[in-house]
Structure 1
Amino acid sequence: MQEAVQFLKEMIRLKSVNPPGDEEPVARLIEAMLKKSGIESEVRILGTNRANLVARIKGTGAKKSLVYSGHMDTVPPGDISWKFDPYGAVEHEGHVYGRGASDMKGGLAAMVVAMTEIARSGVTLQGDLVLAATAGEEVDCCGARAMVEEGLLQEVGAMVIGEPSNGEIFTAHKGALWLEITAYGKTAHGSMPEQGVNAIEHMNRFINALRDRFKFRYDRDHLLGEPTLNLSVISGGVKTNVVPDVCRLQIDIRTVPGQDHLQIVADVERLFKEIEADTSAKFELAVLNDKPSVRTPVTHELIGLSLATAKELFQKDFQPAGVRYFTDASVFVPGAGGDLPVIVYGPGDEKMAHQPDEFVETAKYLDAIQFYKALALRFLV
């Protein structure tokens, strides 16, 4: 127990904020931990101080492999002051505090420890147990994409992603479509606005059109509910006495299975083309992030094994659930041909992700180690 908690603390103390990422020190820490139990791993360099890690306990080949997956990067600690040092890994009243404790170094550390315990047990696995520790999930999923390109997902039977689930079993998550809309106008002196074209005013027209006329095309999902749209970032203008000639808006759309991202983009473009037809405005659209939603059928063997494992360990009933965030599964599942079964299970609380004084409960972290270990043995033995 103490070794497991200490390993988590060491991981939290390594700053792997993305951008820039700096995942390589985390990968080296994991490599050293696995080596103690005789597990060979490969750190795959992606750039300056950036890396993926892949480790494997070989099985007999009678079954397809099970992949544990987690990302090593974190978001910044933010501007709001913390009660505890975000990189101090302070253990206090049953919690370990620090940036990434919940999202998702707690889950990743638990996977590593579970893997070492399986290796030390000497059990013969019928399929490979693989650890895929990725770079870049918080920005562009560059690590997951690199693993797909390198063929990691050949002969994979299932994947467990250790993102925060508060000990619940998520079988589905939403997709993400991030758009940047740019409105162009014409600059002029602020005292003579009629000589210019105000890009902020045109963006205001677009926002009103988005609010009043934009409608999603979808069927409500029984686990994920409805799609959402958030106006996230807006910027425009250079000085008080200058008519702004550029205004940019970033939009975060979260989608449910069955939605067509290309259709959503076309529907957004249609709105600003209507404004262009009636005004002197000009707009451009850029797609910043395009990740599909993921859902594993609740009838799949992986789901039944996961629910039964959790019930046996924790003495309560579990039900399949869905979550609003996206994970590296948005890259891994299409990369495996679209039918890779995935669950999301982690000790962190998803509501703590990206928050000040982020923490993971020590008890849930230790529970996660037992869950990952037991599920792997059920799936691979």
Structure 2
Amino acid sequence: MSADLLNVDAGPVELTRQLCDIPSVSGDERRIADAVERLLRDRAPHLRIIRDGDTIVARTELGRDRRVAIAGHLDTVPVSANAPVPGGANLPVRDGRDAETGEALLWGRGTVDMKAGVAVQLALAVELADPAVDLSWVWYDHEEVASELSGLGRAMRHHPALFEADFAILGEPSNGTIEGGCNGTLRARVVLRGRRAHSARAWMGRNAIHRAGELLERLARHEPERIVVDGLEYREGLNAVSIEGGVAGNVIPDHCAFEVNYRFAPSRSVEQAEAVVRAFFADADEVRIVDRAPGARPGLDAPLARGFVDAVGREPAAKLGWTDVARFSALGVPAVNFGPGDPLLAHADDERVPVAQIVDSHAALKAWLTR
């Protein structure tokens, strides 16, 4: 193990600083996973610890009649050399204040996504030897990269019994508000074909790029739906995200392809989402699905959810994006997102989290788990 020592006694705010001071870009999580495992083995004898690569599962086994899984990822996106944070550096984390409100902030990579949430979870994992429900704490690697690399997905495949639960919470940044479920996501490659010709005799060919332009104009006019699912409003989105085409400066192109990303409400299955995309681009020559992941319903109809909503003290909102709640939902476990930090600042050069949100998130989660 590495020599990194986490001081949980200093509280979740200081623990956030310590976690952010350990670089852990996706694929390089061993050092932070070692530090988390060392902390748990030293300070949490009430937990059974299982490690799968750089994913750690720590469980109470008190025989309670309900179990809650609480998870967070350890990795971050890469650090930007130009991040405008106090002190002129992105690591280690820096203290600061909001210029308008004077609110105390922590700046730096990972403060929002999602080491503040992990710090809240780790502090509670050590503190709560006798919670009201059995707990399965999960900290995992490779969240910020391709889905097939996910440490959570890998651990679920290797140890499915460890993830059986009545309710799950993902520590994704949500401004300290419960965000239910998540949108599904689908990417499709839309192909238009034409006929090559010399550009001096364009009438002899058929321009595939011009054909694509007609579809892209239709896409630009498209009004995405707003769909209410179990009382929460999800906003859908269908957008072009890349395009390619062209042969040479004097050739009418016979091929053009663009990729679209469809973010769909969790009331739709991936098969229904695929049908929507295929129907929208029915006059294309080919629509090929290249990636898809189901959404997750809000999870607020779970018996445990109401008490959690009461403890947080704010009305829940919809999660407008895909998160790992969908992995729990696929296992039949209702799941929500809850953590400190503004999701709009995740991955940003000026990533920063309000100190008060860390403190409040810790207090709300603790009150609910010990009620």
Question: Which TM-score band (shorter chain)?
Answer: 0.7 to 0.9
Paired residue type of 1:71: H
**d(CA) in 1 for partners of 2:82 and 2:358?**
26
Pairwise mapping of residues 69-148 of structure 1 onto structure 2 (< 5 A)?
69-77=71-79, 81-83=83-85, 84-93=88-97, 94-119=104-129, 123=130, 125=131, 127-141=133-147, 142-148=150-156
CA offset digits 1:304-361 (Å, max 9, x no partner)? 2112323xxxxxx422222212210111111x23xx2223210111221222210111
Q: Does 1:5 align with 2:8?
A: no
Could you say which residue in structure 2 is the equivalent of 1:36?
42
Which of the numbers 306, 317, 320 marks the counterpart of 1:321? Answer: 317
CA offset digits 1:277-305 (Å, max 9, x no partner)? xxxxx43412323222321234x332221
Q: 1:175 to 1:284 in 2, by over 3 A?
A: closer
Could you say which residue in structure 1 is the equivalent of 2:341?
348
Say which SS state the counterpart of residue 224 (structure 1) adopts.
Answer: strand
Q: What TM-score do the two structures reach when normalised by structure 2?
A: 0.81
**d(CA) in 1 for partners of 2:84 and 2:288?**
37
Could you say which residue in structure 2 is the equivalent of 1:293?
296
Deviation for aligned residue 1:145: 1.9
**d(CA) in 2 for partners of 1:77 and 1:248?**
32
Structure 2 unaligned blocks of 5 or more: 1-8, 98-103
Q: 1:33 to 1:233 in 2, by over 3 A?
A: farther
Paired residue type of 2:36: I
**d(CA) in 1 for partners of 2:74 and 2:178?**
21
**d(CA) in 1 for partners of 2:363 and 2:168?**
17
CA offset digits 1:120-166 (Å, max 9, x no partner)? xxx3x464321111223333442232232221455412111111111
> Conserved in 1, the CA contact under 8 Å of 2:83 and 2:89?
no
Q: 1:286 to 1:3 in 2, by over 3 A?
A: same
Pairwise mapping of residues 1-381 of structure 1 onto structure 2 (< 5 A)?
2=10, 4-18=12-26, 21-38=27-44, 39=47, 41-45=49-53, 51-56=54-59, 58-77=60-79, 81-83=83-85, 84-93=88-97, 94-119=104-129, 123=130, 125=131, 127-141=133-147, 142-149=150-157, 150-185=159-194, 193=202, 198-211=207-220, 219-221=227-229, 222-237=231-246, 240-241=249-250, 243-275=252-284, 282-298=285-301, 300-310=302-312, 317-334=313-330, 336-337=331-332, 340-378=333-371
Over aligned residues, Cα RMSD in angstroms? 3.0
Q: 1:8 to 1:196 in 2, by over 3 A?
A: farther
Q: What TM-score do the two structures reach when normalised by structure 1?
A: 0.80
**d(CA) in 1 for partners of 2:193 and 2:90?**
41
Paired residue type of 2:347: H
> Conserved in 2, the CA contact under 8 Å of 1:59 and 1:126?
no
**d(CA) in 1 for partners of 2:280 and 2:267?**
22
Deviation for aligned residue 1:36: 2.7
> Conserved in 2, the CA contact under 8 Å of 1:27 and 1:43?
no
**d(CA) in 2 for partners of 1:201 and 1:78?**
38
Count, aligned residues: 349
Percent identity reads: 27
> Conserved in 2, the CA contact under 8 Å of 1:54 and 1:132?
yes
**d(CA) in 1 for partners of 2:247 and 2:49?**
51
